[in-house]
Amino acid sequence: MSLAVSDAAADAALVEALAAIVGRQHVVAPGEDQEPYVVDWRGRYHGRAAAVVKPADTAQVAAVVRLCAERGVTIVPQGGNTGMCGAATPDASGQAVVVRLDRLNRVRAISALANSITVEAGCILQTIQEEAEKVDRLFPLSLGAEGSCQIGGNIATNAGGTAVLRYGNTRELVLGLEVVLPDGTVLDRLHALRKNSSGYDLKQLFIGAEGTLGIVTAASLKLFPRPRVSALAMVALPEIEAVLTLMGRLRSAVGDRLASLEAMSRGQIEVIAEHVPDVAIPFALEAPWYLLIELTDTLAATDLRTPLEEALGAAFEEGLVTDAVIAESGAQAEALWKIRHSVSEGSKRAGYVVSHDSVVPLENQALFARNVERRIAEVAPEARIVMHGHIGDGNIHVLAILNPQQYPDAATAAPMVARINAVVDDETAALGGVISAEHGIGISNRVRLGRVTNPAEIALMRRVKALLDPAGLMNPGKVLPPEA
C-alpha cells in the first residue's frame, strides 16, 4: 500500500517535471485516458505508462529524454501506433514514459529540383505523399496504414509496402536523419545529400532499430519523378513457379516500368470473397495463384498497354498464364487493387490469423511457399493456409487462419501459434531468409529472432545496443531477444 502510494507520488512528480517541458495539456497522466497509447492497434498488447508525453519539437524531445535519463525512467517512442509487432506499446509495469511524436508534424523543406523533402517524424505518410504531389514529385513509400502511420515509425521499422520492387524500402528512401540519442543529445545528420563518404554513416544505425537506439525526430527523404501513365493487369497462373518466370520475362520486357507485383493464392482471394462483400472478383477462381501487375512510366506519351499485352500474350502461349484481366479504366484498376487491399480485413474476419513476414532469396520463393504450406498443414491440419504479398521482393506473407470457435483468443491460440511459427521460421532460415521483411521485430518476434539468427550477429546487436543505450532505457524489451 505504502509502495503504491510512493509510486503514485513518484508518478505525480514525473508528470509535473514532464509538464514543465511540454505543458500539462500535453501530458496524459495515469488515471487519464491513456488507452489509445498503451494498446497496439491489433489489440494484442496491453500496457501501462507512467505518462504519455507529446513534445512539440526536437528540443522538447531532447529535454524529455534527458529528464528520463537522469531519473532512470524507460522510454517508449510512439508514432501512429500502427505497428504490427508491438514495438510502440509499453509493458505492463507502468514505469515507462510513452513519447508521442504527433506534434512534430512540420514539413521543414521540399525541393523539386533536389528531389527531396525534409519532414518531422510525426508527419503522416499520406501527408508526405500529398506534399510531394504538389511539386509534381512522387514519394513512393506506400502501405496499408498510410493514412495514419507516421514517417518516424516507418523509418524505425524500415517499412516496405507495395512499391519496394521499384523504389526500394524505407532505408533506401532516407537521405538524412535527425535523432535524439538515449542521453538526450541531438545527432543532426539531416542534410539531404545524395552522396556521402565522409566517415561512418551513423544514421543507418537508427533505421530499422524500432526506437531502441534513439528517437528519430526528422528525416530528409528522396522524391522521384511522378509516374504519368500506368497499366494494370490481374492474371491467373497454374503454379507459383510460373509467377516467378513471368516476373523475369516482364523485367526483361519492360525493365523498370514494373512498379508492383502482388501475388495472392486462390485461398487468399476466396477468403476476401467470403468476408468482404463489397469486393468484386471479376474472374472465376480456378487457378492456384493470381498476380497483380502494375506498370508505370514517367513519360505521358509512353504506351504501356502494348508491351504488357505482348508479354501476357507470350505468357499464354507458354502456359505461364491461364487467364488475364487488363484494367480498361481507372475505376477498373481501383477495383483490382481493392482486392489486394482487402487482404487484412478479409483474413481477420475469417478467424484467428497467424501471419508471417518471411523474406527469402527469390530463387527459393517457390520452394518456400510449397514447404511451409505442407509443414503448417502437418502441425495444424484444421488451419486455412493462404498467402499474399510482394513476390518480387521474395516477401510472401503466409497466413494460417485458425477456427475462431476453437481458438477464441491469443492465450488459447498461443501453443499452436508457437508450433506454426517454428516450422515457418525453420523453413525461412533453411532457405537463407529472415523472419521479418517489413514488419519488424518489436515484442512479437524477438524470441523467434533469437532462435533463427546466428549468435554472433545477436551478440554484435547487443553490443551496439549497449554502446548507444548503456542504461537500457530506450524502448526496452523490444527487438533484441531476451537474454538466455
Residues 159-178 that bind its own copies (CB under 8 A): 159-160, 164-165, 168-169, 171-172
CB of 12 to its own copies, least distance (A): 34
Work out which of 61, 207, 218, 235 binds its own copies, going by CB under 8 A. Answer: 207
Q: 32-51 burial string, b = 16+ CB within 10 Å, else e? A: eebeebbbbbbeebebebbb
Beta carbons of 235 and 321 less than 8 angstroms apart? yes
User: Rounded distance, CA 344 to CA 473, Å?
Assistant: 34
**Residue 325 belongs to what H/E stretch?**
strand 323-326
Query: Taking CB under 8 A as the criterion, which residues in 417-476 touch its own copies?
Result: 432-441, 445, 449, 453-454, 456-458, 460-461, 463-465, 467
Q: Which is nearer to its own copies, 81 or 95 (CB)?
A: 81
Beta carbons of 206 and 108 less than 8 angstroms apart? no
CB of 200 to its own copies, least distance (A): 5
Q: Which is nearer to its own copies, 116 or 265 (CB)?
A: 116
User: Rounded distance, CA 164 to CA 160, Å?
Assistant: 6
Q: Which is nearer to its own copies, 180 or 413 (CB)?
A: 180
Query: Taking CB under 8 A as the criterion, which residues in 213-272 touch its own copies?
Result: 213, 224-227, 244, 247-248, 251-257
Beta carbons of 190 and 176 less than 8 angstroms apart? yes
Q: Which is nearer to its own copies, 140 or 267 (CB)?
A: 140
Sign of the dihedral through C-alpha 234, 392, 273, 295: negative
Q: Which is nearer to its own copies, 197 or 329 (CB)?
A: 197
Q: Which is nearer to its own copies, 12 or 464 (CB)?
A: 464
Q: Which is nearer to its own copies, 259 or 413 (CB)?
A: 259
Work out which of 30, 144, 307, 472 binds its own copies, going by CB under 8 A. Answer: 307
Query: Does 107 interact with its own copies (rule: CB under 8 A)?
Result: no
User: Rounded distance, CA 393 to CA 386, Å?
Assistant: 18
User: Rounded distance, CA 396 to CA 399, Å?
Assistant: 10
Determine the interface stretch with its own copies among 9-17, 143-151, 294-302, 369-377 (rule: CB under 8 A).
294-302
Cell triple for 169: 524500402
Cell triple for 245: 518466370
User: Rounded distance, CA 421 to CA 400, Å?
Assistant: 10
- Count of residues engaged in binding its own copies, rule: CB under 8 A: 96
Sign of the dihedral through C-alpha 216, 220, 224, 228: positive
Determine the interface stretch with its own copies among 205-213, 326-334, 345-353, 398-406 (rule: CB under 8 A).
205-213
Query: Taking CB under 8 A as the criterion, which residues in 363-392 touch its own copies?
Result: 363, 390, 392
Q: Which is nearer to its own copies, 209 or 292 (CB)?
A: 209
Beta carbons of 234 and 279 less than 8 angstroms apart? no
Stretch 67-96: interaction string toward its own copies, x if CB under 8 A: ------------------------------
Strands (E), 173-227: 174-180, 186-189, 215-222, 224-225
Query: Does 199 interact with its own copies (rule: CB under 8 A)?
Result: yes
Work out which of 218, 320, 360, 420 binds its own copies, going by CB under 8 A. Answer: 360
Q: Which is nearer to its own copies, 136 or 334 (CB)?
A: 136
Q: 405-419 burial string, b = 16+ CB within 10 Å, else e? A: eebeeeeebeebbeb
CB of 228 to its own copies, least distance (A): 8
CB of 367 to its own copies, least distance (A): 13
